[in-house]
Amino acid sequence: MGETRARGRGGRRRGLGGITATATLLVAAVGVLAGAVTVAGDDGTGGHRSGTGAVEGSRSGPEPSGRSSSARPAQPPSGRAAAGAAGRLYRHEGAQVVAWVRAHRDDPRRPLIASRIAARPAAVWFTDPRPWAVTARVRAVTSRAGDRVPVLVAYAIPNRDCGGPSRGGAPHLAAYAQWIKRFAAGLGSREVVVILEPDAVALADCLSPGERSRRFAALARAGAVLKRANPAARVYHDGGHSGWHRAERQAAALRRAGAASAASSDGVFTNVSNFHRTAAEVAYARRVLTALGGPRGLGAVIDTSRNGNGAPADGRWCDPAGRRLGRPPTLRTGEARIDAYLWVKLPGESDGCRGRPGTFSPGYAYDLARG
């Protein structure tokens, strides 16, 4: 997973690779990349950044195993460091990029990929729609994170990606309700960020009016289930991106999906698996939040994983050339109403043009790291 297609103005995200339950067993064997490299710089300016290997769901690689790893984390927990240096975000050792770095010690691309991508915290995707498996897989991540903050992507909505490359999800909304309940059961009681169903709101135009209404109601219920299960969880809803719908239109749909209620939402996410520059996304996210209304504490998180050079002028979305890593993940942005810059899409995991969707491409990762 790690990507969905973003239709409408400004291109798309991209399709998932479809995770299987058996593939999750590979994750337990992945070791730890020692050390974390701090790389400074903004998107579009000097310097490269990178994201840590997080396991994504169908969009990007196998989901975490339900078993906790016995390996020691590459970075010690940062304890209770105040509101958010990048070190507070959890770096998942089960990512495909981490496995590649460990297995290719003599590859000349390894140092750059290791320091600029594998050493960064990134999201963990959950896309297998079977309810029986998800609790243990979520708990394996949240328990391993300790005092650090994991970023989890819930991605199992029925008719996911409207039949596109990331197609799949639960068979129907009743099954999805059970899946979300089991997902929530693994959240624990510590701080955690949940990215709730990329594209589920912005890409809902393929549904009939009745189907949209039922999906939005299901998303509102899902947010409430997550918040009740762990009051420390921060739940963000699908805000699309700055090159897609108008902010007012997106906000109207988000309101129907529960994003304006403190009982089911902490705000919105934007730019997941896309390439739009951070400044454009900050401005767009604020417009969405203003139009959305709701509690003043609602904020936004922005996927900056691959937006260092902005979106391609020709609108290409599938592993486009000439892109580079964006701002490093952090919970401290210095921007009003912007809660975090996150690496939701894992850099180097294919959109489907440089490998099967969701599989790690060292060539693509190296290109992003070089910029």
Question: Which tokens belong to 89?
Answer: 């975000």
Active site residue 106: no
Bridge partners for 151 per DSSP: 193
Sequence-ordered list of residues with C-beta below 8 angstroms from that of 19, at least 6 positions apart, any chain: 1, 57, 58, 61, 62, 63, 125, 127, 128, 358
23-43 as b/e: b if 16+ CB within 10 A: ebeebbebbbbeebeebebbb
Q: Cβ(283)–Cβ(291) under 8 Å?
A: no
DSSP tally for the chain: helices H, then strands E: 8, 7
Contact assessment for residue 72 and residue 80, using Cβ atoms and an 8 Å cutoff = no
Question: DSSP letter at 116?
Answer: I
CA atoms of 245 and 239, how far apart (whole Å): 9
Name the one residue in this structure whose structure tokens are 């974390």: 36
Question: Is 351 a catalytic site residue?
Answer: yes
Nearest-angstrom CA–CA distance, 219 and 239: 13
Q: Give CA–CA dist 323/307, Å, rounded.
A: 7
Residue 199 Rama label (left phi>0; alpha psi -120 to 50; beta): left
From the candidates 303, 319, 351, 367, give the one annotated as an active-site residue: 351
Please indicate whether residue 339 is annotated as part of the active site: no
| Among 161, 266, 303, 367, the one annotated catalytic | 161
Residues 20, 162, 151, 40, CA torsion sign? positive
H or E segment at 126? Answer: strand 124-126
End-to-end CA distance of the chain: 23
Q: Kindly report the CA angle at 259 between 254 and 262, in degrees rounded to 5?
A: 160
Q: Tell me which of 128, 199, 319, 339 is the catalytic residue.
A: 199
In the three-class reduction of DSSP (H, G, I as helix; E, B as strand; rest coil), residue 294 is classed as coil
Judge contact between 319 and 110, C-beta under 8 A: no
**Tokens linked to 242:** 């700055």
Catalytic residues: 161, 199, 351
